Structure 1
Amino acid sequence: MQLFNLIKNEKEYWLVDQVKLKSKSEEDYKEAFTNILNAFKEEQIGYLSLLMDEAFESWLLTNGFRKISSIVEYTKQLQEEVIRTSDLKIHSLAEEGMTDAEFAEAYELCRAGTANKNIPQPIEQVMASIANELGDEWRSNCYTFFHENELVGISIPHIEMGTKEEGRMFYFGIVPSMRGKGYGAKMHRATLPLMKKMGATYYVGSTDESNGHMVQIFKKNGCVLRDKKGIYRIEK
């Protein structure tokens, strides 16, 4: 099994996520990642963003990385029935009730003022990444949530690349005016059956460790802490 998941966006960036396996040693990971790092440098990519166990932090800093933050991962089995809330109206972008540009505006609004410390991409780059990573039917993965015709937030559930059953959210966010009202937990809970319908048997969610609101949403909806990793970045 591969030790890192790698998403490439042409010459702009690489996203690398460590896959933790008990059977592999620290040296195995260092060797595998060194190969990725050398290829990144040879191809003159804009930047590389890495999720990796903080036990490797000193080694990474020595190799030119800087630390952005730390993230926590929570997980939940999706075997049981998940009840969708009735007071939120859910729409897919594929329904054509909203244009791609309007969805991009909603995405931009949702990420304003969040507690996450990771460096945000320009929204044009974000939209291109969604299409690139989720494929031709990406609009079917993009959901908006409304309460009494007022936008609450968006979520983008999908099956993690390289897996058949791991559900993730490319993005999940609440508009500033709706925060602190309990809608986040309802939106999150309503997204899980959408993910299960895609074939996911379990869910993995992550957020910046300083994002206490998102951590509480995970816990409220039955997710348990699975892991913690550092976010590291290097530019060409």
Structure 2
Amino acid sequence: MNLFNIIKNKQEYWLVDQIKKNDIPKEAYLHQFTQILEEWDRLGIGYLSLLMDERFESWLLQRKFCKISSIVEYTRKLADLPEMDGQIVWHSLSEGLLDDREYGELYDLCRLESANKNKKLPMDQVMNSLKNELGPEWRQHCYYFTKDEALAGISIPHIEMGTEDEGRLFYFGVVPNLRGQGLGINIHKISLVLLKKFLANYYVGSTDVNNSYMIKIFEKNGCELRDRKGIYRIVK
């Protein structure tokens, strides 16, 4: 049984996320993760970033992981979605109105002054990871939003790897100069509708425990707290 999702970026990094199940003993997680860690070490990958239940923290720290922060996960069924703001317009990158470079620049702008504490990867690595995870049709998942013809934010809805109907946002963000105006709540609402178009039945979103802005968006849009995990990192 697979207890972890892993995104592998060649020799640069692995992103590992624990799949929490109520009926799985702690020892089973430790056994499978030890195998992952041994393979990571044997292959000489640059670093490993891990999302895992904080009850494993002392075990991880003993193995030279450092704790970056903690995240909270929120979830929502995608039935009976709230009405969307008709003033916001959205397009996918696949429409060709922006090119990949322009989209990357907008993505990078949305990351500025983020409350999330996890280390920000260089933009070229982010775009490569996006392509690797979402596959050849990745541009169809990359949305950007405008209001009054001004670029306002981005969202990247997709079905979580290893699932059939779990909706996730690879990234979601609002440009710094338009924050605090309620745009984040409305763009997030639209993103939930887009997830439903990708045949997701429910949504799972996460953010840093200190990101009160994003937590407010989750709560305003009917999401409920599901879980909390630590963010840990080990470098080769």
Q: Same fold (TM over 0.5)?
A: yes
Amino acid at match of 1:149: E
Q: What RMSD in Å do the two structures reach over aligned CA positions?
A: 0.8
1:81 Cα offset (Å): 4.1
**Conservation of the 8 A alpha-carbon contact between 1:115 and 1:210:** yes
Match of 1:21 in 2: 21
User: Residue type of the partner of 1:54?
Assistant: E
Q: Deviations over 1:73-94 (max 9, x none)?
A: 0000012244332110101100
Which amino acid in the other structure matches residue 227 of structure 2?
D
Question: Which residue matches 1:104?
Answer: 104
Deviations 1:109-135 (A, max 9, x none): 000011000000000000111111001
1:129 corresponds to which residue?
Answer: 129
Distance 1:26 1:195 in 2: 33
Letter in 1 for 2:93: L
Q: Deviations over 1:29-84 (max 9, x none)?
A: 11110000000000000110000000110100001100000000000001224433
Give the gaps of 5 or more residues in structure 1.
none
Matches within 5 A, 1:43-62: 43-62=43-62
For residues 130-179 of structure 1, the C-alpha deviation after alignment (integer angstroms, 9 at most, x for no partner) is 11100111001000110001111000000000001000000000100000
8 Å CA contact 2:82–2:221 kept in 1: the answer is no
1:10 to partner: Cα distance: 0.9
- Greater alpha carbon shift after TM alignment, 77-86 vs 186-195: 77-86
* Residue-pair matches, total: 236
Give me the whole-angstrom Cα distance separating, in 1, the residues matched to 2:81 and 2:122: 37
What is the identity percentage for the equivalent residue pairs of Structure 1 and Structure 2? 57
TM, length-normalised to structure 1: 0.98
Contact 1:82 1:193 in 2 (8 A): no
Secondary structure, counterpart of 1:108 in structure 2: helix
Matched to 2:52, the amino acid is M
TM-score, normalization: structure 2? Answer: 0.98
Q: Secondary structure at the match of 1:173?
A: strand
